[in-house]
Chain A
Amino acid sequence: MSEITLTPNTGNNLKDRFFQFASKHMGFISVLISVLAILLALLIGAILIAIAGINPWEAYGYLLKGSFGSRYGFGETLTRFIPLLFASLSFAIAHKSGFFNVGAEGQIYIGAIGALLVGAYVTNLPPILHITLSLLAGIVFGALWAGIAGVLKIFLGSNELINTMMLNYVAIFLVEYLIHGPLKDPQLFIYQSSPILDSAKLPIILPKTPLHAGLIIALVVTVLIFYLLYRTPIGYQMRTVGANLRAAKYAGINIVGVTLVALITTGGLAGLGGAVELMGAQFRMVAGFSPGYGYDGIGVAVMGRYNPVGIVLAAILFAIIRVGTGAMQRGAGVPFPLLSVIQGLIIIFVIASGYLTNKLTETTVGGRA
């Protein structure tokens, strides 16, 4: 028996050596996998571009030039990075706490409405106060919107994934109603809300680009969120609930309380993302205010493997692809939805590669049971 059993740690054939090497360098392997996932997704993207009769090299040239080939492009990429970061933090913190919030898209819209109400209709405030209150309104509105799915989950056990998704559709129709009716700018013929006042606008931090102070808010919030998650008792409880609900119950953790905190945080983060986007970039509520940032956030969180450095890097990458795809459309005529193709594929590849990482973990702990 023992002479035919190859224990993974003996390292006497190529496969075992590979696993041994890989399990010692997990960080490196994760990065490598992510890079491969991106390359594979871009390769399939290239095939689709070729189907359109466009030269993929030329198209991808526009992607690079558009996203950081110029000062403006660079600023635009970092501007798109901001809502992506908020959306991915929102998805990540919910995931870590054991539930799926795929409703960031709707929470972004509703959060932005909160910021709009304060930013456009509350007058005579000094900028610091006006900005703070508008941001807070965004957080509260986003949290309340997520809270609908939260209440259904906590008190009735209703599936939060379907509910948060349903709420996205409801939110978008609700916002459409608002900009057609009560919040429509009376001075315009098109359906847009009134703009927020100057005192509620976030300042530009890189002149001659659209990059605004939301970047600083986003980065500070990222640090705070991961501090909350890894350095505070409530964060520990959230992660315990997320990792093992039964163990959490055994340990006497107040599941309802912890889930509530997680919900407020996940909805608040997406709502804040909407508020920041409104106050720094768009200033009015329009149809299509968020072109899918909430869904992009899922991909960012998955690719960033739910850790702060990973998420920031993945959000930058997704921002580059987003701005770059816009440039490909303008420059080479590549239809914009290629963006979702590439992002969807990245999610699938990165998640599928989890097989390998699981295998490696098994190897480190001494082989499979």
Chain B
Amino acid sequence: MEAFLMGTVVTWLAMSIRMSIPLLFTGLGGLVSQKAGIYNFGLEGMMLCGAFFAYYGSFRLGSPWLGLLMAIIVGALLGLLLGFTSITLRVSQLVIGLGIGIFGLGLTSYLYRLLDQTGTEHVATLFPSIHIPFLSDIPFVGEVLFSHNFLVYVCIGLVFLISWFFNRTTQGLNFKAVGENPQVADTAGVNVIRYRYFAIIVSGALASLGGAFLTLTQTARFMENITAGRGWIALAAVILGKYNPWGVLMACFLFGAADAAQMQIQVMSLGIPYQFLLMTPYILAMLAMAGVVGKVRSPAAMGKPYVKH
């Protein structure tokens, strides 16, 4: 019994990490754009496109690396679209984001049905888990922390990188100024427009990576609307994480752990209707946001287009 319990906990924790990584990639994407003062409400659509094009690239070109590359390019392009409309044309970032979401859902489902019609089943090549000598062999810890594919470690590395970038580099501090007070940043010689473009393109690529993680490490197949609102949950994680990369990491892990738990409870068949279990990540996201609001302040110039005077 004890061994069984132990096994369950190990599986749950390892699974929690795997479930939180797509949220974390996407959440970091949301964080980067919001730091620069742009809402990215297109995260869901970008994530979905990332999931599809990573899958498509991987099976068509035979390599998950090329799939990953394809996802990054598509994500960056969608970021560029959001950037062009919200930075240069200065129109509603929110509605464009929603438009990208609807477009992304349509495009990926459309292309997927075309593939599906061919009758043959297309399976993407996956990124394998990496066995790290010694570390992976440690009981418990090894299985929870060191049994993953390389993208998991890349994602954690990005948290370090982004945290260092925003707090320790001149460019990172400039970013904060761009999000907080673009007029002052501009006066100080920071090119607000260029910074914002950079942020939103990176944001799109990161969101797309979040989607790519789903198809390139977990499912190997695409399903219509495979992200099922994860882009929005990632956005909630940015708020819950108080616009801090480590906070976002914790928030994403919380949501990932909840998702992993509900999946495990489904398998245990405890008689709880599965629909209630499926609801939990969404309800948790709402509750978590409600718990921190008022204590979190978003960047001051958020959502406001910058007009040079």
> Looking at the complex, which one of B98, B104, B117, B232 makes contact with A166 (CB distance below 8 Å)?
B232
CA of A351 to CA of B102, assembled, Å: 14
How distant is the Cα of A256 from the Cα of B279 in the complex, in angstroms? Answer: 29
Asked if B229 and A173 make an inter-chain contact with CB atoms under 8 angstroms apart, the answer reads: no
* A165:B229 contact, CB within 8 angstroms: yes
- Whether B110 pairs with A177 at a CB distance below 8 angstroms is no
Interface size on B, residues (CB 8 A): 49
Cβ-defined contact, B103 with A161, below 8 A: no
- Shortest B41–chain A CB gap in Å is 7
Contact B290 A345 (CB under 8 A): no
Interface centre among B114, B224, B294 (most CB of A within 10 A): B114
Does A302 touch B at the CB level, under 8 Å?
yes
- In the bound complex, residues from chain B placing their C-beta under 8 Å from that of A156 are 290, 293-294
Q: In the complex, A298 Cα to B282 Cα: how many Å?
A: 22
Contact B89 A100 (CB under 8 A): no
Given contacts A52-B114, A337-B109, contact A163 B90 (CB under 8 A): no
Stretch at the interface among B61-69, B173-181, B270-278: B270-278
Instruction: For A169, list chain B residues within 8 Å (CB).
Output: 228-229, 279, 282
- Contact across chains for B275 and A180 when beta carbons are under 8 A apart: yes
Tell me the smallest distance from the CB of A173 to a CB of chain B, in Å: 4
Name B114's contact: one of A51, A170, A348 (CB within 8 Å): A51
**Restricting to A325-369, which residues have a CB under 8 Å from any CB of B?**
333, 335-345, 347-348, 351-352, 354-355, 358, 369
Across the interface, do B106 and A343 meet the contact criterion of CB distance under 8 Å?
yes
B117 to chain A, nearest CB (A): 8
Inside 8 A of A162's CB, which chain B residues have their CB? Answer: 232, 235-236, 239, 285-286, 289
> Given the complex, which residues of B lie within 8 Å of A343, measured CB to CB?
102-103, 106
Bound together, the chains give a CA A345 to CA B85 distance in angstroms of: 13
User: Across the interface, do A176 and B293 meet the contact criterion of CB distance under 8 Å?
Assistant: no
The answer to whether B239 and A159 touch across the interface, beta carbons within 8 angstroms, is yes
CB distance from B258 to the nearest CB of A (A): 13
Complex contact B286–A341 (CB within 8 A): no
Interface majority SS (helix, strand, loop, mixed), chain A: helix
Assess whether B91 is in contact with A355, with CB atoms less than 8 Å apart.
yes
CB < 8 Å: which of B90, B94, B228, B279 contacts A161?
Answer: B94
Q: What separation, in Å, do the CA atoms of A280 and B290 have in the docked complex?
A: 38
A302 to B98, CA, bound (A): 11
For residue B96, CB closer than 8 A to chain A, the reply is yes
Q: Is the CB of B109 within 8 A of A344?
A: no
In the assembled complex, how far is the CB of residue A101 from the closest CB belonging to chain B, in whole angstroms? 12
Q: Decide: A344 and B99 in contact? CB cutoff 8 A.
A: yes
Is B279 a contact of A358 with CB atoms below 8 Å? no
Q: Closest CB of chain A to B174's CB: distance in Å?
A: 26
**Residues A302 and B95 in contact in the complex (CB < 8 Å), given A344-B101, A348-B81:** yes
Cβ contact within 8 Å between B229 and A166 = yes
A177→B275 contact, CB < 8 A: yes
How near does chain B come to A159, taking the closest CB pair, in angstroms?
Answer: 7
The residue of chain B having its C-beta at the shortest distance from the C-beta of A51 within the complex is B114
Tell me, yes or no, whether A233 is within 8 Å of chain B by CB.
no
Q: Are the C-beta atoms of B286 and A344 separated by less than 8 Å? A: no
Q: Once bound together, how far apart are the Cα atoms of A273 and B235, in whole Å?
A: 29
Question: CA of A200 to CA of B95 in the docked complex: distance in angstroms?
Answer: 37
**Residues A358 and B90 in contact in the complex (CB < 8 Å), given A52-B114, A302-B95, A351-B99:** yes
| A163/B91 contact (C-beta < 8 A), A339-B106, A340-B106, A344-B104 known | no
Q: What's the nearest-Cβ distance from chain B to residue A138, in Å?
A: 22
Query: How far apart are the CA atoms of A281 and B105 in the complex, in Å?
Result: 26
Q: Could you tell me the distance between the alpha carbons of A278 and B309 in the complex, rounded to whole angstroms?
A: 54
B283 at the interface (CB under 8 A from A): yes
Q: Is the pair A152, B286 in contact by a Cβ cutoff of 8 Å?
A: yes
Closest A residue, CB atoms, query B41: A161
With a 10 A CB-CB cut-off, give which of A48, A162, A163 has the most chain B CB atoms: A162
Q: Quick one: which of B104, B105, B235, B275 contacts A173, CB cutoff 8 A?
A: B275
Most buried by A among B95, B102, B278, B289: B102
Inter-chain contacts of B202 with A (CB < 8 A): none
- Whether, in the assembled complex, B113 has its beta carbon less than 8 Å from a beta carbon of chain A, the answer is yes
- B103 & A340 in contact (Cβ 8 Å cutoff): yes
Residue B92, interface by CB 8 Å:
yes
For A298, the chain B residues whose CB sits under 8 A away are: 95, 98, 102
Which of A152, A338, A354 lies in contact with B89, CB distance below 8 A? A354
Mark each residue of chain B from 91 to 130: 1 if its CB lies under 8 Å from any CB of chain A, else 0: 1101110111111111111100110010000000000000
Chain A 264-307: CB-based contact to B (< 8 A → 1; otherwise 0): 00000000000000000000000000000001001100100000
Q: Does B106 contact A338, Cβ atoms closer than 8 Å?
A: yes
Query: Of B103, B279, B285, B290, which is within 8 A of A344 by CB?
Result: B103
CB <8 Å contact, B95 and A177: no
Q: How far is the CA of A168 from the CA of B232 in the complex (A)?
A: 12
Contact A344 B232 (CB under 8 A): no
User: Besides the contacts A158-B293, A167-B286, A335-B113, what 18 more A-B pairs have beta carbons closer than 8 Å?
Assistant: A48-B110, A51-B114, A156-B293, A166-B229, A166-B286, A169-B282, A295-B102, A335-B114, A340-B103, A341-B103, A342-B106, A343-B106, A344-B106, A344-B107, A348-B85, A352-B85, A354-B89, A355-B91
A and B contact pairs by CB, cutoff 8 A, 22 listed: A48-B107, A48-B110, A102-B98, A152-B290, A162-B239, A166-B236, A166-B286, A167-B286, A170-B283, A173-B278, A174-B275, A174-B279, A333-B117, A340-B106, A344-B100, A344-B104, A344-B107, A347-B96, A348-B103, A352-B89, A354-B91, A355-B90
Chain B residues engaging chain A, CB cutoff 8 angstroms: 41, 45, 81, 85, 89-92, 94-96, 98-110, 113-114, 117, 224, 228-229, 232-233, 235-236, 239, 273, 275-276, 278-279, 282-283, 285-286, 289-290, 293-294, 309
Q: Which of A's residues lie within 8 Å of B, judged by CB?
A: 48, 51-52, 100, 102, 152, 156-159, 161-163, 165-170, 173-174, 176-177, 180-181, 295, 298-299, 302, 333, 335-345, 347-348, 351-352, 354-355, 358, 369
The 4 closest A-B pairs by CB, nearest first: A340-B106, A344-B103, A347-B99, A337-B109
